[in-house]
Chain A
């Protein structure tokens, strides 16, 4: 049996196991988005001034881009983390690893959950944007299609970058510990570009924003904002992309090793111990 068949089996099990929860979350997010649009539309009946358009729409869309990317990466990352921790807690991982190496298990899991996260974003963003347009809540700027593609692209990149880290963190928590605790350091790193991004969305291009949009760990949240607002030079986008791809590759290798080192050990594993027992 080929490695790809194994990874595909892992991925389809993940999809089957999470189908229901995924549908519920997507449905709830879409409903909230649509409800918000309907509410704004109802309020704006009183006058056209409530409708956002032009550069104001750019700002609003920029703001929501950062929010959506942050929420999507953190949520999807936590799902991975909980999935890894559950396999460790129920000890099933030892049976699974009798048939494959940890890297393959990790790949299948991350691919499946990432695909679900991506589908979620696409469904929610397109529905809400479409509804907003239809109800004349806002006027989509011409760059929007490109913007949506950029959001999806940067989600894939950002998710890839962070997924292995979340998985490694999940492999290190002890069976009785609250899984979310392990995500705190990762979420804190992500909070930096988030906060800078949302505050900068209404303002112009700033130096911190520029720096963060080049630095690989923060680029996935900040570069799409700058690109959509037209702040970023082409070379900056190219550099940011190259650095992020390189960092994603290195982090996956590193976190994959940490995952391998930690997932078979019972109980709480410290980062240092996971690093030492990696294979």
Chain B
């Protein structure tokens, strides 16, 4: 298990981490979410000893992290970085060997991995000649080649289209299912809530919410109702009691109600206005849960 305990760090007057605490057990894929500048990158870099902490401790399996332990970790930093003039396969082999693999093992595993990522045609291409998306895949291969027990990825979904993001999430889920602990960050809360089950949300250097996405959403005091009645407009919706209309456009209306509300009368009102084309009753998205938690 990776454990971040009471981490604090300031850069001048800017607070990067303030008593930040987090746990990632093996087998879990944890989304580390929060707005830009919340402290995600600083927390992740602390796992690799790249940050001098003012207080707190980072441990893996109960022990402070030393060089030996770190060789079993995989890391994708926020600022992607590869040797631009090295070829794709050589690059992956090099990082595999830096993590203690033999040359042969690194070559075999690297070739296999690059093949899985769809780069088998580009093994001998220089990294600088690849597209941004392909460089991102090489970066992932570099982080994965030594089959790490702990994977730390800073914004792995940034710049990926939804299909590529789902592929990336699939790769990470597979690693977690294989017993690795996976920690990844994102500032796009709504993108990630569909890709992973467990999240920790950080704000101003402190983890303000953590748990399963469904539970966090369900714990919200509000529910969202979204209804489309073609040709009926939205005026009929003002008859719904104890609801706030948060969005109206054409025939689509979105309302916010209290958690315990019974959705059936809403449907009946909608059905009275016309034929119901869409009707949903659900907890708010993660981004709103977050805003409620930090009272913004």
Which A residues contact B (CB, under 8 angstroms)? 1, 6, 9, 13, 16-17, 86-87, 90-101, 264, 266, 277, 279
Q: Cβ of B82 and Cβ of A99 under 8 Å apart? A: no
The answer for the CA separation of A94 and B80 in the assembled complex, in Å, is 9
Partner of B84, one of A13, A90, A96: A90
Chain B window 59-90, contacts with chain A (Cβ cutoff 8 Å), 1 for yes, 0 for no:
00000000100110101110111111110001
The number of residues on chain B lying at the interface, defined by a beta carbon within 8 Å of a beta carbon of chain A, is 26
The answer for the CA separation of A50 and B94 in the assembled complex, in Å, is 55
Main secondary structure of the interface of B (DSSP, over half): loop
Q: Cβ of B97 and Cβ of A95 under 8 Å apart? A: no
B274 proximal to A (CB < 8 A):
no
Q: Cβ of B98 and Cβ of A9 under 8 Å apart? A: yes
B187 proximal to A (CB < 8 A):
no
What residue in chain A is nearest B52 (Cβ atoms)?
A279
What residue in chain A is nearest B94 (Cβ atoms)?
A13
B48 proximal to A (CB < 8 A):
yes
Partner of B70, one of A87, A92, A94, A99: A99
Shortest distance in angstroms between A127's beta carbon and chain B's nearest beta carbon? 29
B100 proximal to A (CB < 8 A):
yes
B20 proximal to A (CB < 8 A):
no
Q: Cβ of B50 and Cβ of A97 under 8 Å apart? A: yes
Contacts of B70 in A (CB 8 A): 98-99
Q: Cβ of B77 and Cβ of A95 under 8 Å apart? A: yes
Q: Cβ of A99 and Cβ of B71 under 8 Å apart? A: yes
Q: Cβ of B48 and Cβ of A92 under 8 Å apart? A: no
> Are A94 and B79 also in contact (CB < 8 A) when A99-B99, A101-B67, A279-B52 are?
yes
> Are A17 and B142 also in contact (CB < 8 A) when A90-B81, A95-B77, A99-B99 are?
no
A–B complex contacts, Cβ < 8 Å, 24 sampled: A1-B71, A9-B94, A9-B98, A17-B83, A90-B84, A91-B77, A91-B81, A94-B50, A94-B77, A94-B81, A95-B76, A95-B77, A95-B81, A95-B82, A95-B142, A97-B50, A98-B70, A98-B75, A99-B67, A99-B70, A99-B98, A99-B99, A100-B67, A100-B98
Shortest distance in angstroms between A29's beta carbon and chain B's nearest beta carbon? 23
Q: Could you list 11 further interchain pairs (A-B, Cβ under 8 angstroms) beyond the known A86-B84, A95-B142? A: A9-B98, A90-B82, A90-B84, A91-B79, A92-B82, A94-B79, A96-B98, A98-B48, A99-B70, A99-B71, A101-B67
Chain B window 96-133, contacts with chain A (Cβ cutoff 8 Å), 1 for yes, 0 for no:
01111000000000000000000000000000000000
What residue in chain A is nearest B45 (Cβ atoms)?
A94
What residue in chain B is nearest A88 (Cβ atoms)?
B81
> Are A17 and B98 also in contact (CB < 8 A) when A95-B77, A97-B48 are?
no
The answer for the CA separation of A189 and B39 in the assembled complex, in Å, is 43
